Every structure is written in structure tokens, then in C-alpha cells.
A and B are shown apart, each in its own frame.
Chain A
Amino acid sequence: MKKSGEVVIIGGGISGLSTAYNLARLGCKDVVLLEKESLYSGATGRCGAGVRQQFGLEINCRLAKGACEILENLNELLDYERDIELKQGGYLWLLTTDEEVKLYKKNVQLQNNLGIESRLITVEEALEIVPYLNPEGIKACTFHQKDGHVNPFQVSQAYAEAAKRLGVEINTFTEVTDIKVKNNHIVEVITDKGKIATNKVLNAAGAFAKHIGEMAGVKLPLKPERHQILATEPVEPLLGPMVISTDLACLQEPQGSFIMSYSDPDEPEGVNISSSWRFMEEMAKRVCTVLPILSNIKVVRQWAGNYTMTPDAAPILGSLPGVEGFYFAAGFSGHGFMLGPMTGVLMAEHILGKETTISIDKLDIGRFERGELMREPAVS
């Protein structure tokens, strides 16, 4: 392991890896990435890897659109040969109340203004897209064809390999235990394998970002929260889009497995990756209500990962005024994977003092003190 680095990245998930690659691409030759376990073993390797542009907040729409365009060209951009399994079968959003319909109408308007071709459709139209859908209780849907799903392992691996090729040093099974700050400047990162002198640190530690912040004396308004998910046996293609509502999210991977998840409002705060039988039962009940055909499919595994929630469900990107050289890319509130390709571009530009492709000023940490919350309404 190097004794010093121009930039030290904490976290080998999609945020850390794509930032590492982009830093190197922009000419930064001395990047060290530290990951306490294996690469993408955090939320990134545990996520559903749904990719969508249907957001209700302009900045999220822009980030997601940019990220999606990168994913569409990822093989070429990163010179990666394996299939990243991008499937753009759309996201079909089920709306069950009049309020929802009203809100999502507004979202579609916003999305259309930004060049995202989503549309509000009737239940009949939805049934043409997903013939197995149980239409009961659904008032209308929104649909956007370019949304979809990608293989999170392949995407992360593509970034890791490209970063390494450009000279990034990646250290796995290396845990950051402390960060030294002197006169309000970052000076050193301490790990269980030794120390690294540096003036720039990116905190991309996912559910542990709050903990990393504390090492540098910074309080971050982050709340890790368990989310559970399961996968079924593979079957021949049945479902084009991701079916999503406030009750659940369910998609079919190109290799045939269904992946599904739901958010439990009673989930207590804390880092937790254990699975529960309650989730298995409740998930089965919910999915069989929406897609009754799945009552015949077998579950092959269930697992859990952590969302990192912010008070307004929008990410924190930027730097901290009080501690020079301390950067964050955290608090993705359940959609950090799909934003990852763009997170990397923006954070690399920001760390190197360049103007960012999309302005991230409003995503800074100061917004919580200023009371300028973002409030993303389209979170599942």
C-alpha cells in the first residue's frame, strides 16, 4: 500500500469506484481506494440495480439521465468486454390514489421538459405492457421505456478494471480506522494496514459514511436503514419492465430471475444485513397480489443491505466548508446505484476544482442548515 496519495477514496462501492476511475481519467495520477471488505460488498453488491429517470426532483432527473446515457455506452467508455446486462424494459409505476396520480402527472411534466420521454398511461395500456398485472386498485400508471435494470457486479467491475488500468491503487480488506485533521485540513488517513498521508479524502462509505464523518469530527445527517430483497429461480421472459409502487418493486433479470423488494416504514435505524422471515412472507403476499402468476415461482435466496437515508431523500454531494479536503458522496437514499456513473463524473470534477458538468451546489451538506431541503417525492 502506498504511503501517500493525492486523493484517498474510502469505499469500494459504485460511488467510490466510479469516482476513482473519473479522477484518473481526468489526469489525477495518484488515487488510492480503500475498501474494508471485498469490492462492492456494501449496498452496491446487494442492490436491485434498477435504473430509472422518472424522478420528481429536477436535479435527480438530470443526474439519472446523465448516468443512464453513460450506462448505454459503458462497454465502449470503459473498454469492458463482458455484458453489463443493461435491459431497458422500462419502469411501470402503479398509481393507486388520486393524489398519487396528480403528483405523478406533475412529475411526468417535469421529466418531459428535461427530455425524458415518460408518459402517464391508462390501466389498459399498462396491461398491454404487462399482461400478467392484476389491475385491481390501480388508477393509472406512468411508464418510461429507457428505465430498466443492469448487472451491478459487472458495472462495478468495469469501473474497477478501468480505474486500475489508469493507475488507481485499489486496496481491499483495508479498513479506515481514523482520519487526522490538522488546522482544519485533512492530513492523514489511518487504516488497519498502515497510514496514508493525503490532503484529500472522499467519503463514499455508504452506510458507514456517518461513521467516517465522525472520524474527521463531522456530523452527517445520515440514517442507515436495512432493506431486504429476494431472488427467484430463473424462468423464461415474462416481465418487461420493473413494476413499482409504494408497496413493492419487482423486476425480471435478463437471465430470468425475478428480483423483488419493498420498503418497511417500521424498519429501525441502524446498519443491519440480516434477513427476516417476515420479509419473505410479506414480500410473497405483496407480489402475488400484483403479479399473481408469480405464486408458482420458487425463491432461491433472500438477503439484505442498507439504504443510507438523508432527511430529504436526496444525496449529499460536495465538500465540507469547515474541513478542507473532506469530500462526500453519500446518502443516496436508495437510488445511488443508478446515479453512480454520474456521481463519479461530478465528484471527480469537483475534487479537482473544475466546474461540474451538472451543478451540485444544491446537493451540498449546508442545505440542511439553510433549511433548503430538496424533497424527492418519487422514492420507493
Chain B
Amino acid sequence: MHIKEHPILAFKRGRRVEFFFDGKKMWGYEGEPIAAALHANGVRVLRRSIKLNRPRGFYCAIGNCSSCLMKVNGEPNVRVCVERLEEGMVVGTQMAKGDLSRAKANPISSSGGGSGIRKTDIAVIGGGPAGLSAAISANQMGAKVTLLDRNSRIGGQLIKQTHMFFGSEKQYAFIRGIDIADILADKLDKEMTDVMLNATVLGYYREDGVLGVEENNRFTKIKPERIIVATGASEKVLAFPNNDLPGIYGAGAAQTLMNEHGVVPGNNVLMVGAGNIGLIVSYQLMQAGINVKAIIEAASKIGGYWVHASKVRRLGVPIYTSYTVKKADGRESLERVTIWQLDKNWQPLKGTEIDLNVDVMCIAVGLSPLAELLWQAGCQMKYIPELGGHTPLRGEDMQTTVKGIYVAGDVAGVEEASSAMVEGSLAGLCAAKSLGYDNGRFKELREEAINELMNLRSGPVSEGMRKGLEQLI
């Protein structure tokens, strides 16, 4: 079902078009992800697993996990959570590995894909709050930027965040995430920044510092003088029996589906994880008229901000701490979840099981940095659980151990959007300065950013984060 009315969001949709799913005629909006259109039509099973033929749906909804591969117009292995719907598309459940034999061969262009190499001062990879802020401050210093994002619009995760931000005025306190995305996009210097959308950076070639980019199904190349990696993070999964059932989604994925694409994820939801994302998404689900049956949290206390927790509690949602998922059940998609309690040593207690009839379970157990490009580049990495996993070592100016490669935002250690923006500014300033660009205010702006980061990280909730960060710099 598509959401018709929303207290905050007004969905800009394409025209209504017809498409086909396994031979059946269906309707969707042009330009929305195929997975969203299918979900709105009640289709949750997108493919069958390779060996055991198990039903599979999407999980991350932002192109990270490959859980949603389907056959589209004869081509197998298409990630339908990001592939856009077109009129008359023929979409099919993918059985096993996908069959190429019926796909039409593409003509090879005479240039053989061998396009020239674009040059730029700074390539910023990722147009979330971190990447946008990096581009803005690099522009301010005088550097030219190429900003790349694999999504069809900029804003990163902000474009699904309907809640208002805290913090200082500088980080847009009391403004909703979606609006911050617009504000940042407006601040970009259009003359100085070349924005490439639908452009996925696939590889960093150490040999000559070239970035390989897939842009609208073509392989293109960019050679920047400096690189700022601001690719964000991906949602973690949780291990329990039947965790692959359609209907079990990342919490961010449910948020994406609902707030970005205007599709109702389901009727009854269990939220796993009471960190900020779990709490915020629960609240947003209720805003869209969906019943949140419970929030469970394996730790003995709630991890997110108290404000967010009391908001959902006030609406009558129980939060069970020291509880985890025992198993999920359902024939083709999720029907029931069994949860159970954990003792002080995190061991499950028999006899504490509770069955919950839900058709959606959202997993909000944290994010891990999307750091593939940093590994490719040979940046030194360190495993820091407080920051989400393997995180790059870096200096105060956000430069990694590989000269010329900077990081900002979640990829530099998972925090939140406010710190992502400040880290982005800092990286943009320093990368530009290292190329000799300075509008005269570099020193002052750099100081300012470093102080802001200190302030943002000063609260008691950030203690783990602070400890983690100490290991990086």
C-alpha cells in the first residue's frame, strides 16, 4: 500500500504506470524503486535462495546487501531496491542464480567504454550530510569538487529523517533531517561543484589514483587530486533461525520505504534495538499509522536518547530490555516472532518466551562503516566495536594513512548526522588547504570545527564513542 496522507511528508511521485510481475499486471509510480512498487502491491517475496530455494525479500533498501535480486526485462541479478520503475517493465521472481541466456546482448560501443579521464581537485564520494558539508567547505576555500552519489538524489540518509535534530544551531537543531538535506544542497556552489548522481564509485586504482565509476551502466573514470570518502554505513544483521524471511528488514530500510518512497512496510511491527535509530523509526512508523507492537533491546538499558524513548513510551509502546529474538516463523514471509529474556551474562532464559504476531520485524542493532574503498586504497584500519567495526586510522585533519585520502561521517566511525556534517566540513577544509586553496579563513574555520566536534561528543551517551575515537587519531 502507498501512504496517502502523512503528517509531515508530501510525496512527490511520478505518473502511474503499468508493469508486469511474474505475468500479472500491476500499477506503480514511475521512478520509484521496483521493490517499493512491488511492496505496495503486496509482493514481498522477490527471489528464491540459490541452494535451499528459500523465499527472500529486501533487507537494506539502499543497494548495499544484494538480498533483493530479481529478473528485470530479461536481465538477472538486478537490485530492485534501487532500480527505478519504468512503464511496461517485465519483472520476475529470480529463481536460484538467475539466467542470462535470455538476455539480449548489448552492442559494444566503438570506443569500447574507453572514455577519457575526468580531472578534478577533490572527489567527494557520497552525498550525505558528511559529503555535502565537505563539498561546501572545499568550495568555500576555492577548490573545485566532483560530488558522486550512487543514489538518484543527494542527501544520503537525511532524506528519510523526519525527526528534528538536536545540538547547536550550526548543526541545524530543531530542523528536520529532510529539510537539512535541502538546505545543504542549496549551499553547494553550483559553479564549483559538479554533482554526479546514479554514479557508484566501484574502485580506487592505487596505481594511478584513478576512481572507477559506474554511471548509468557505463564505466567512467575520474582522477582527483584529493579524495574524501563519505560513503556512510550499512545496517548490521542479526543471527537467529529464519532471519532471512521476507518482512525482516533493516530499520533504516523500513524508514527508507516509508519516508522516502511512501510505502507502508506492514501492519504490525516488532522493533529490535532501542538505540536512536530503533526509537526514531518506531515513532515514524506510528506517524504513518502503523502499529508498533514492541521494542526489544538485548542490553539492560535503552541506548538511545531519553527524549526519543519517552516519545514512543507515551504512545503506549512497551520497551523490553534484556530481550532478544529467539526465532522467526512464517511460510512465505514473516508471521510470528518469538522473543526471550537474557540473564546478566547475556544467556537466554528458558520459559521467558513471548510470541508476537507481526508481519514486519525491523533490525536496528547498529551500523558498520561502508569502508570497501578505504580497504582498496590500503588505508590502515582498526577494529573498534564502539564505532561500528573496522574504521580507518586518521589524523586530526581527517586524512587517512594514505596521503590524499580523507574520510568523514559514518565511514570514519558511526556516530550521527550532526558530527558527520562537522567532520565533512573539516575534511573539506583540510583537503582544499593541502592543495593550496585558502580564502583566508582556514585557520579559524578549522579551529571552529574541531571545537564543535568536541562539544558534540561531550555528553555521557558519547562515552564509548570517545573511547573508540581515541584509538584512531
Contact = CB atoms under 8 A, between A and B. Distances in A.
Interface stretch (A93-101, A195-203, A284-292): A284-292
Interface in B305-322: none
A296 interface: yes
Interface string A280-308: 11101100110011111110001000000
A238 interface: yes
Contacts of B114: 281, 285
A296 B100 contact: yes
A148 B206 CA distance: 33
Contact of B203 (A238, A277, A289, A298): A277
A282 B106 CA distance: 16
Interface string A170-196: 000000000000000000000000000
A292 B105 contact: yes
Nearest to A291: B105
Interface string A31-73: 0000000000000000000000000000000000000000000
A293 B75 CA distance: 11
B76 interface: yes
A236 B101 contact: yes
B205 A276 contact: yes
A238 B113 contact: no
A274 B205 contact: yes
Interface size, B (range): 20 to 34
A4 interface: no
Contact of A238 (B100, B107, B108): B100
A36 B193 CA distance: 46
B50 to A, nearest CB: 8
Interface in B66-96: 75-77, 96
Nearest to B76: A235
B203 A235 contact: no
A234 interface: yes
A285 B112 contact: yes
Contact of B206 (A233, A274, A282, A289): A274
Given A236-B98, A238-B101, A296-B103, A281 B113 contact: yes
A366 interface: no
A281 B214 CA distance: 12
Interface in B88-130: 96-101, 103-108, 112-114
Given A238-B101, A285-B108, A276 B207 contact: yes
Nearest to A258: B100
A236 B96 contact: yes
B124 to A, nearest CB: 20
A193 to B, nearest CB: 23
29 contacts: A234-B50, A234-B98, A235-B77, A235-B99, A236-B96, A236-B98, A236-B101, A274-B206, A274-B207, A275-B207, A277-B203, A277-B205, A277-B212, A277-B219, A282-B112, A285-B108, A285-B114, A288-B105, A288-B106, A288-B108, A289-B108, A292-B105, A292-B108, A293-B100, A295-B107, A295-B108, A296-B100, A296-B105, A302-B203
Interface of B: 50, 75-77, 96-101, 103-108, 112-114, 203, 205-208, 210, 212, 219, 221
Given A235-B98, A284-B113, A296-B103, 20 more contacts: A233-B77, A233-B98, A236-B97, A256-B97, A275-B203, A275-B207, A277-B212, A277-B219, A277-B221, A281-B112, A281-B114, A281-B219, A284-B219, A288-B105, A288-B108, A293-B105, A295-B106, A296-B75, A296-B106, A302-B203
